[in-house]
Structures are given as C-alpha cells and as structure tokens.
C-alpha cells in the first residue's frame, strides 16, 4: 500500500474530518478571502497523528492492533519503536478486519 493510500485509509477509519481553522486567506488576485480548512494529517510520517488515530480504537481493537503491530515490525520487543508508517499499516490492517 502506498503512503497516500495509507494516509487516506487511516483518516477514513479514524473518522478524521476537515475543520475550519478560524482563519481566512486571500484568493488569487487578493480581491476576496476564503476560509482555511485543516489538512489531513500525514499519518505515515507523523507519530503524533498516529497517536491520535490509535486513541480512536476501542479495547478489543487496541488489543488486535498490538498483535498486528508486532507482526509488522517483525519483532515483538520492538513494537514500541515502530515508525509512523508501520503503525499506519498495522492500524489499517486492524480496522480492515474489524469492519
């Protein structure tokens, strides 16, 4: 799965929604302003974003996620050092099985 596909799937499973930031920026030409919306987190590269996604898991999903993450990192003792991409991959695999 590509990083773009992982990013989209994690956002979908974590029920991420774009929200208005409260700020406006000028359109091209500077004649009018348009609202600024939050961008989708870059889950495969951002451990903080993955932490937020992990917080959406219920206890059973969290247990399964831990098991899947151990397989993704290939060493049960290394799962705490998993990269954001490895966590995103495990998250998507876990949620795909839960659906």
Residue 93 φ/ψ, nearest 5 degrees: -60, -45
**What's residue 99's pLDDT?**
58
pLDDT digits (tens, 9 = 90+) for 56-99: 999 999 999 999 999 999 887 888 899 999 999 999 999 998 75
Q: How many residues does the chain have?
A: 99
Number of CB atoms found within 10 A of residue 98's CB: 13
Q: Which domain holds residue 30?
A: 3-98
Number of domains in the chain: 1
Helices marked H in 1-99 — which ranges?
A: 3-13, 47-54, 59-73, 84-98
* pLDDT tens column, 1-56: 899 999 999 999 999 888 888 888 888 777 778 788 888 999 999 999 999 999 99
Q: What's the pLDDT at 59? A: 96
Question: Can you tell me which residue has the tokens 């399964």?
Answer: 64
pLDDT for residue 27:
80
């Amino acid at each position: 799965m590509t990083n773009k596909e992982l990013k989209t799937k994690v956002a979908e499973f974590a029920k991420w929604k774009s929200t208005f930031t409260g700020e406006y920026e000028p359109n091209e030409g500077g004649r009018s302003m348009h609202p600024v919306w939050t961008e989708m987190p870059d889950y495969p590269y951002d451990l903080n974003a993955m932490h937020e996604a992990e917080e959406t898991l219920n206890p059973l999903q969290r247990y399964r996620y831990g098991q899947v993450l151990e397989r993704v990192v290939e060493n049960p003792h290394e799962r705490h050092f998993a990269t954001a991409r490895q966590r995103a991959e495990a998250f998507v695999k876990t949620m795909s099985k839960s659906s």
